[in-house]
A and B are shown apart, each in its own frame.
Chain A
Amino acid sequence: MDPETSQRIEVVVERLQHLPGALLPMLHAIQDDLGYVPPEAVAQLAKALNLSRAEVHGVVTFYHHFRTEPPARHVLQICRAEACQSMGAERVATQVRERLGVDFHESTADGAVTLEPVYCLGQCACAPAAMLDGEVHGRLTAERLEALLATLKVSP
C-alpha cells in the first residue's frame, strides 16, 4: 500500500478509535474517502482495534456494502427486490446490462461505471428504482433509464 493511502487510513483510525464498536464506522469512513476498503487496510485496522486480521476480514466480507476493489467513476445500483420486480425490474436489469455490456458486480472496461444490485431503496411506490452515485431515480421507463445511462458517458 502506498504511504499516502496508509496515512489516510491512519487519520480515520485516530478520528474514530474512541467509539465503542468502531470497526463499521471506520470501514465506512475509509470507503467514503477512498471509494473502497483496500485489503491492506485489514492489518492496520486489526492492530488499531486489537482484533485478529481474520476478524476484520470477516467483517469486511460479510457486508455487501464494502468493496475491496476501487469502483469505476460512477456506481449504478439497480433495485432487484419484489416491489421493483412487480413493475419491470427485470426489464431494467436487461436494458442496463445490454447497454453497458457488463453484468452485476462488474465495471465497464473504460472505468466509467460499476454496476451493482441492491435490495430495496425504499422507493417501492415509485418503482422500478435505481441509485446513481447516491442519488435516487424512480419510475424508470425505458426512456428515463436511457437518459440516465447517457449521462454516464460510457465509451462505445
Chain B
Amino acid sequence: MSVRVFVPRDSSALAVGAEAVALAIAAEAAKRGEGITLVRNGSRGLLWLEPLVEVETAAGRIGYGPVAATDVAGLFDAGFLRGGAHGLCIGKVDDHPYLVKQERLCFARVGVTDPLSFDEYRQNGGWRGLENAIAMKPSEAVAGVIDSGLRGRGGAAFPAGIKWKTVLETAADRKYVVCNADEGDSGTFSDRMTMEGDPFVLIEGMTIAGIVTGATQGYIYLRSEYPHAERALLAAIDTAYDRGMLGPDVAGSGRAFDLEVRRGAGAYICGEETSLLESLEGKRGMVRFKPPVPAVSGLFGKPTVVNNVITFASIPIIFDRGFAFYKDFGMGRSRGTLPIQLTGNIRHGGLVEKAFGVTLRELLYDYGGGSASGRSIRTVQIGGPLGAYVPESQFDLPLDYEAFAAVGAMVGHGGIVVFDDTVDMAKMARYAMEFCALESCGKCTPCRIGSTRGVETIDKIIAGRDRGTDVALLESLCDTMLNGSLCALGGMTPFPVLSALKYFPEDFGLDRDRLARAA
C-alpha cells in the first residue's frame, strides 16, 4: 500500500528548502521501490521545524523536522515510512506541545489537508457554512455575524457584522466584496499561510459575504510579494468555478458570485481600505476621506464589504458551527480566536491560534521558547510597523483589543516581532519614521512632511546637541501626526516612536528617570 508523505508547499517551508526535500524523497522512494504518495500540504505553523515532513501511519501522522535534502536517505534507512525512530523525529504531530493547546478554528485545515483538494476541503467541514448561509434570511445572517462578536482581523477590529449590515441595507444596483490581502505588516503571515494552505476557506468566506449582502462580484487584493499565494488562489478559484461554488449559480442557490484576484504593487498604504479601493479602481493608492464609509460608497462608488483574509476565513466555521459557538471563545469584547504570529528573534517562531485572553508571556516563553539568540527578550513590537514597542514589564497583558489599547498598544493583525537585548531602540524609532516617509501616500501633511521631519529630529536627538529641545519637538510632532493625519499610517507611526522613547530613553542618550521626573 502506498504511504502518504507530506512535504509542505507553504512558502516559508520552500524558503528553507522544502522543494529539494520533496524531490529527494520522490527520488529515494523510486530508487528503493517504495510506493509513496507525496502530498504537498500547507504548513502546520511550527516554522522552526520546517521543512517538516510527515508520514501517515496507523498511529497517526509522525513528523520529522527540520529535514534537509541530505537527511533523506538516512530517514529511509531509519524506516520513517513506518514512523521509525530518527534524530529528527518529533513524534505524532497532533500531540506536539505547540499544537495541543491551540484552538484552531481558522487554521483547522492548514497543514493538515492538500490545499488544492476540493474534496478534502469538503470532507473536513468545508462548504457547510455556505450551505447554511444560503438557507438563511440575509437579515438573520448579518445579525448572526454581529452576535458572533467577530471583529475585523486586519488591525482595526471593527465589528464585521456591522459592515455587512450596512452593505445589506444600502440599496444599489451592484455591490462588491473586497478582501484585503495586502498583508504588509512586518511580523505577519497568517493571511499568507491561509491563502497558501487553505485557499478554499477564503473563497467560501467571501462567497458567504456576497450571498448574505447581495454582492455579486468579489476581488481579492493580493500583495505582489506573495506569488505563491497568488498561484494557490488562482488554482482554487478555477476549481471552485468548475465545481459550481462560484459563478452564476452558487451551490445551486440561483444566486451569482464571481471572484477575481487583483495584484497590488508594493505600496504599504494600500492595506488601508480606502487606498486599496482606489488602487483596485486603477489609480494611485491615495487615502479617501471618510465618510462616506466603503460600506455605503466603496469600490466604484458602490456599497462594498471590505474585510481582511482572516476575517473572511473565520466566517465559514461561524456559519457551520453557529454564532454562539464562536462567541464562546475569547474575553471581554474580543470574541473568538486570533491566529498569532510569533516572529523575529524567537526560538520557536510560528503560528499560534488561540482564543483572546492568552498573555504575551505565555506566547513568548511557553510557545516561543524565548529568543532565538538565547539572549534576554528586551521588547516586542505588536501589530506591525505602526504598533507600539512593549517592554518586559507589560508581558502579562492578556491579548485583548481593549487591554492593549489601555496601555497605548494594539493587537493589530496579531503579529509579534521579538527583539533581544542587542536592539537599539533609537534606531527602531528612526526606522518607524523612515518607513512612514517611504510609504506615505502624500495626501495629508502631517504624514507626508511629519515623517521626514521625524527622521531628522531623531537624528538630532541621537547626535545629542540639544536633546531637551529636540525631544520636546519630537513629542509635539508626534502629537500633530496622531491627531492630524487622515489615516492610520501617519496617525499611528508615533506609537512605535513614543513607546521606544518612553520605555527605552537610555537608547536616545536620555536619562532613564526622565519620564519619572516629568510625571
Q: Give chain A's interface residues, CB within 8 Å of chain B.
A: 20-25, 27-28, 49, 55, 58-59, 62-66, 81-87, 118-127, 129, 131, 134-139
Question: Complex: how many Å from CA A64 to CA B343?
Answer: 25
Residue from the list A49, A63, A123, A125 in contact with B346, Cβ < 8 A: A125
Q: Given A21-B281, A134-B227, A136-B11, check contact A124 B372 (CB 8 Å).
A: no
* B69 CB, min distance to chain A CBs, angstroms: 13
16 A/B residue pairs, CB under 8 Å, sorted by A: A21-B280, A28-B263, A55-B283, A59-B283, A82-B187, A83-B343, A86-B345, A86-B420, A118-B266, A119-B435, A119-B438, A122-B11, A122-B226, A125-B342, A134-B227, A136-B15
Ranked 4 nearest A-B pairs via Cβ: A125-B349, A81-B186, A63-B265, A23-B282
* B377 CB, min distance to chain A CBs, angstroms: 10
Question: Complex: how many Å from CA A126 to CA B192?
Answer: 14
Chain A residues near B346: list those with CB within 8 A. 125
Q: Closest chain B residue to A86 by CB distance? A: B344
Query: Does B267 count as interface, using CB distance less than 8 angstroms?
Result: yes
Query: Does B42 count as interface, using CB distance less than 8 angstroms?
Result: no
Contact with A along B335-363 (1 / 0, CB 8 A): 00000011111100110000000000000
Asked if residues B265 and A28 are in contact (CB atoms below 8 Å), the reply is: yes
Residue from the list B189, B263, B283, B423 in contact with A125, Cβ < 8 A: B189
Chain A residues near B264: list those with CB within 8 A. 63, 65
Query: Does B14 count as interface, using CB distance less than 8 angstroms?
Result: yes
For the A-B complex, the count of residue pairs with Cβ-Cβ distances under 8 Å equals 147
Chain B residues near A82: list those with CB within 8 A. 186-187, 344, 381, 385, 417, 428, 431
Q: Closest chain B residue to A27 by CB distance? A: B265
Query: Does B104 count as interface, using CB distance less than 8 angstroms?
Result: no
Asked if residues A64 and B188 are in contact (CB atoms below 8 Å), the reply is: no
Q: Closest chain B residue to A28 by CB distance? A: B263
Given contacts A21-B281, A63-B267, A122-B183, list 7 more A-B pairs with CB under 8 A: A24-B279, A63-B264, A83-B343, A119-B439, A120-B225, A122-B11, A127-B343
Q: Given A62-B285, A65-B265, A82-B187, check contact A125 B15 (CB 8 Å).
A: no
Question: Complex: how many Å from CA A94 to CA B50?
Answer: 27
Chain B residues near A126: list those with CB within 8 A. 12, 15-16, 47, 50, 349
Q: Closest chain B residue to A61 by CB distance? A: B284
Within 8 A of A (CB), among B161-202: 183-189, 191-192
Query: Does B4 count as interface, using CB distance less than 8 angstroms?
Result: no
**Tier of interface size on chain B:** 35 or more
* A65 CB, min distance to chain B CBs, angstroms: 4
Within 8 A of A (CB), among B5-31: 11-12, 14-16
Chain B residues near A123: list those with CB within 8 A. 11-12, 15, 189
Query: Does B316 count as interface, using CB distance less than 8 angstroms?
Result: no
Query: Does B300 count as interface, using CB distance less than 8 angstroms?
Result: yes
Question: Complex: how many Å from CA A63 to CA B279?
Answer: 10
Q: Given A62-B284, A125-B189, check contact A135 B14 (CB 8 Å).
A: yes
Chain A residues near B349: list those with CB within 8 A. 124-126
Asked if residues A87 and B282 are in contact (CB atoms below 8 Å), the reply is: no
Asked if residues B417 and A83 are in contact (CB atoms below 8 Å), the reply is: yes
Contact with A along B430-459 (1 / 0, CB 8 A): 010001001101000000000000000000
Chain A residues near B372: list those with CB within 8 A. 87
Q: Given A129-B15, A135-B14, check contact A62 B428 (CB 8 Å).
A: no
Q: Closest chain A residue to B227 by CB distance? A: A134
Q: Closest chain B residue to A56 by CB distance? A: B282
Q: Closest chain A residue to B280 by CB distance? A: A21
Question: Complex: how many Å from CA A68 to CA B249?
Answer: 43
Chain B residues near A87: list those with CB within 8 A. 344-345, 372
Query: Does B490 count as interface, using CB distance less than 8 angstroms?
Result: no
Chain A residues near B343: list those with CB within 8 A. 83, 124-125, 127
Asked if residues A124 and B344 are in contact (CB atoms below 8 Å), the reply is: yes
Asked if residues B192 and A125 are in contact (CB atoms below 8 Å), the reply is: no
Most buried by A among B16, B50, B435: B16
Query: Does B132 count as interface, using CB distance less than 8 angstroms?
Result: no
* B364 CB, min distance to chain A CBs, angstroms: 13
Question: Complex: how many Å from CA A123 to CA B15?
Answer: 8
Chain B residues near A136: list those with CB within 8 A. 11-12, 14-15, 228
Asked if residues A86 and B12 are in contact (CB atoms below 8 Å), the reply is: no
Residue from the list A49, A58, A124 in contact with B415, Cβ < 8 A: A124
Most buried by A among B265, B282, B343: B282
* B163 CB, min distance to chain A CBs, angstroms: 21
Residue from the list A55, A86, A138 in contact with B418, Cβ < 8 A: A86
* A56 CB, min distance to chain B CBs, angstroms: 10
Query: Does B86 count as interface, using CB distance less than 8 angstroms?
Result: no
Q: Given A125-B350, A131-B225, A139-B16, check contact A86 B435 (CB 8 Å).
A: no
Question: Complex: how many Å from CA A76 to CA B34?
Answer: 39
Chain B residues near A20: list those with CB within 8 A. 281, 300
Residue from the list A25, A125, A134 in contact with B12, Cβ < 8 A: A125
Residue from the list B47, B225, B267, B279 in contact with A121, Cβ < 8 A: B225
Query: Does B64 count as interface, using CB distance less than 8 angstroms?
Result: no
Question: Complex: how many Å from CA A4 to CA B285?
Answer: 31
Residue from the list A49, A124, A131 in contact with B417, Cβ < 8 A: A124
